[in-house]
Structure 1
Amino acid sequence: MKKPELKNALLALVLCTSVLSLHAQNDGIPVTDMSRMRGLGGDSRQFDQQSKLQYDQMLNEAHKKDAVATDRNPQLIRLRAIAKRLIPFTSRWNPEAAKWDWQVNLLKSDTVNAFCMPGGRIAFYNGILTKLNLTDDEVAMVMGHEIAHALREHAREQAGKNTATSLFARLAGAGAAAYFGFDPRLGDAVGNSAAQVAALKFSRGDESEADLIGMDLASRAGYDPRAGVALWQKMGAVSKGQPLPFLSTHPSGKDRIENMNKNMHLVLPVYARAKGIDPNNLPAYHTIALPRS
């Protein structure tokens, strides 16, 4: 091949690669602007510091009760491996995520719950893994959903929406005190106020967004997004009308499953690409039955 021909061939290859890369970024769930209400929830650095205080406090209390899984725990190793696959795709939804000090911990409790706090601080309770008999794909959906709340700063958004109340006025004050150095006498106030961050109930819109972003993250990491439907079906079966801790801030039901199915066509091609499979030849998704009670 002559030099001009080789040069043209290489240029064509570069252009083709660029187009494919751009397509890979633009397919899936479309990225939208984050809510402006976040600005009313306080400075993001203060909110992150406040979150870190609460997360560290939670771990310290759990360590005292020997309720934190060790690094050699098989379930924790599993969680961290799944997180490692999801995290590289988080900056698509929030560029700041590339700078986060990501953490994944497992709490030894039968509670059916999991969360991701601002700054990428993830915690799972053992109960959500065992009581729901979650597959890796389903764990990825739970984790992706929780990570999505942190990526889109839903907690700060909710704090902003409630900024007029005394609770969130104290919350913002505690965050500022924590960031700039607070009077030790304010320790209890900081702890009590910070405890509200993880307890914030997100709006229906936030939950829907987290579902879809979770599907997107999971798909890009090679996890089957159809696991999300199986996950919420399991949630409904286990709850049996009784509100689980995970469901107390995550309303379930036919509407959210319908919404996920409605957007499934956007993420299945992404998942197929990650797995190197023709989208038209994807095998059916198979879950694991719930444990016998």
Structure 2
Amino acid sequence: MKTIKLMTMSAMLALSASANAQSEAPQEGVKVEKMSVMRKLVPTGALEGQAAQQYVQTMREAQSKKALAPDNHPQVIRLRAIAKKLIPYALPWNDRAKEWQWEVNLLGSTQINAYCMPGGKIAFYTGILDTLKLTDDEVAIVMGHEIAHALREHGAERAGKSVAANIAVRAAALFAEYKGYDGRVVEGVGSAGASLAMLKFSRDDETEADIVGLDIAARAGYDPRAGVALWQKMGYVNKNSPPKWLSTHPAGKDRINEIRKHFPEVMPLYARAKGVSMESLPPYKSNVKVISDVR
């Protein structure tokens, strides 16, 4: 297996300084809350080491099945070029990201999926590129979203919340037994409630990743309005999705509305990256006829 480091450390730090210079104005870009303290329940960097090992194993297995695209594959070159533009604007969101060994690979699979593991390990599946016919702007929106999950340490946050939930449920069961009730019943009910709560936590993470990803993509010169077209496309291929309250992802319409809500914050960043005025920006045109222009 051959993977590449997208940037040397000196180049990443230089570009990070540039990104910081462009994001000094406190009124620019999206505003999000501080990262959850729940992530502190997991040792700092612990998930990054595990993710790196899992990523290597996944790539090796894919290579053994001839499902790992080579470095000279046109789509791999395309994905890595987009990542190279996004990463400098991702670094200010998490100090640890300056030390990550970023990698981007493409796996042959019909899955409509992509991810970024803690530590900057990115993978796209051919299914998401081919089925959705993603433009570069839409790829950037997907990639920015996945990078945002890693930057905001959502994996560590969920692990921490799971630890806290398990402790709380067990404590409730022990208290019930102390009072003479069946602790197993209490534990079962508590576990079910905790599972539903974790779904809500996941949906919140998805929303945060959406808006942070929009900010990163816009600063890198990719049209945030592509996010609307992307989720309209997803709607056409995901008509049998589970009910919103049983899904880790927000419903498509809610997601589009949330993305549109943040246009006033990110569109000026995009216009500046393109070197044009807001008024001169043309509408975003998708490459699928059923998707209307996004203004």
Go from structure 1 to structure 2 and tell me whether the alpha carbon gap of 1:58 and 1:248 turns closer, same or farther (over 3 Å shift). Answer: farther
2:272 maps to a residue whose letter is R
Match of 2:235, SS?
helix
Structure 1 unaligned segments of length 5 or more: list them.
1-19, 167-199
2:123 maps to a residue whose letter is A
2:39 maps to a residue whose letter is R
State the aligned residue count: 236
Go from structure 1 to structure 2 and tell me whether the alpha carbon gap of 1:165 and 1:64 turns closer, same or farther (over 3 Å shift). Answer: farther
- Establish whether residue 235 from structure 1 lines up as the match of residue 245 from structure 2: no
- Establish whether residue 258 from structure 1 lines up as the match of residue 260 from structure 2: no
Partner of residue 224, structure 2: 225
Partner of residue 29, structure 1: 30
Structure 2 unaligned segments of length 5 or more: list them.
1-20, 167-197, 291-295
| Alpha-carbon shift at residue 260 of structure 1 (Å) | 0.8
CA distance in 1, matches of 2:241, 2:23: 45
Q: Which runs of 4+ in 1 moved over 6 A?
A: none
Residues 177-230 of structure 1 show CA distances to partners (whole Å, capped at 9, x for unaligned) of: xxxxxxxxxxxxxxxxxxxxxxx9662211111000010000000000000010
2:266 maps to a residue whose letter is V
CA distance in 1, matches of 2:289, 2:78: 19
| Alpha-carbon shift at residue 280 of structure 1 (Å) | 1.6
| Alpha-carbon shift at residue 24 of structure 1 (Å) | 5.2
CA distance in 2, matches of 1:109, 1:285: 29
CA distance in 2, matches of 1:23, 1:285: 28
Partner of residue 6, structure 1: none
8 Å CA contact retained: 1:132, 1:290: no
CA distance in 1, matches of 2:241, 2:153: 29
CA distance in 2, matches of 1:81, 1:241: 34
Match of 1:131, SS?
helix
| Alpha-carbon shift at residue 44 of structure 1 (Å) | 2.1
Residues 140-160 of structure 1 show CA distances to partners (whole Å, capped at 9, x for unaligned) of: 000000000000000000000
Partner of residue 187, structure 1: none
Partner of residue 63, structure 2: 63
Match of 2:45, SS?
helix
Partner of residue 188, structure 2: none
| Alpha-carbon shift at residue 33 of structure 1 (Å) | 1.3
8 Å CA contact retained: 1:90, 1:98: no
**Length-normalised TM-score, structure 2:** 0.75
1:232 maps to a residue whose letter is W
Partner of residue 185, structure 1: none
Go from structure 1 to structure 2 and tell me whether the alpha carbon gap of 1:220 and 1:242 turns closer, same or farther (over 3 Å shift). Answer: same
| Alpha-carbon shift at residue 31 of structure 1 (Å) | 4.8
> What percent of counterpart residues are identical?
57
**Length-normalised TM-score, structure 1:** 0.75
| Alpha-carbon shift at residue 21 of structure 1 (Å) | 4.4
Partner of residue 186, structure 2: none
1:157 maps to a residue whose letter is E
Partner of residue 53, structure 1: 53
Aligned Cα RMSD in Å? Answer: 2.3
- Establish whether residue 126 from structure 1 lines up as the match of residue 158 from structure 2: no
Match of 2:147, SS?
helix
Match of 2:124, SS?
strand
Alignment of 1:80-229 (within 5 A): 80-163=80-163, 203-229=202-228
CA distance in 2, matches of 1:165, 1:62: 35
8 Å CA contact retained: 1:236, 1:252: no
1:128 maps to a residue whose letter is I
CA distance in 2, matches of 1:107, 1:57: 13
8 Å CA contact retained: 1:31, 1:93: no
CA distance in 2, matches of 1:21, 1:242: 39
1:98 maps to a residue whose letter is K
